[in-house]
Homo-oligomer: A and B are copies of this chain.
Amino acid sequence: MSTPATDRVELKRGTNRAEYGHEEMLAVLDAGKVAHMGADTDHGIIVLPMAYGRTDTEILLHGSAANAMLRAGGGTDVCVTVTIIDGLVIARSAFHNSMNYRSVVIRGEARLITEPEEKTEALKIITDHVAVNWDSRREATEKELKATMVIGVPLTEMSAKIRNDGAVDDDADLGGPEWAGHIPLTEVWGEPVPNDDVADGCVLPPETLAGVTQ
């Protein structure tokens, strides 16, 4: 059985929902859409939603080079959390209400990725995370690359918590008059909506559509 890399990513409660298997944790990262990154800035802690991607060893995040949080994050301790909500759990007691979810928490030191080739590859990975489209876009300009900051956080201090179950009530409550169970929640992509200014015949390539169709 897998074990947590460090004490600070070891689950202290709900330990039966803990998942420390590397492949299982990567699967959650692959299924998520945004990460919430927390960093300490000159004016306190901030948590912001960010697009992301991953290699086998790092989660990659990007933003404006003017982003105070990203600047604060470079070389300092951050926490990056990815959560997918899979449903609502309603138990006989509100105390045992919960959600079904998959979440990954990554703690560690963020590094700025500045080497041009590595940075471009990181941007491609982030761009292609939800739907592969980097190669079908026009090439990035030097100015755009300069305006973008990219950081990586090692996938080392990482743990996941996965709940995928019905209600778990106290034995004394079983047989009570309350309904208990779960209500699944899924995300559904709609039809792509082209801009009015898109020229006739422009289409999304199949590899992009594969990421955004059911």
Contact = CB atoms under 8 A, between A and B. Distances in A.
Contacts of A37: 47
- What is the copy number of this chain in the assembly? 2
Nearest to A92: B138
For the residues of A in contact with B, the DSSP-based class is mixed
A47 B80 contact: yes
A68 B13 CA distance: 11
A183 B189 contact: yes
A44 B77 contact: yes
Contact of A43 (B8, B186, B189): B8
Interface of A: 7-8, 12-13, 33-34, 36-40, 43-49, 51, 64, 66-68, 77-81, 83, 85, 87-88, 90-95, 97, 99, 101, 103, 105, 107, 123-124, 127, 130-131, 133-134, 136-138, 140-141, 144, 147-148, 166-167, 173-199, 202-204, 208, 212
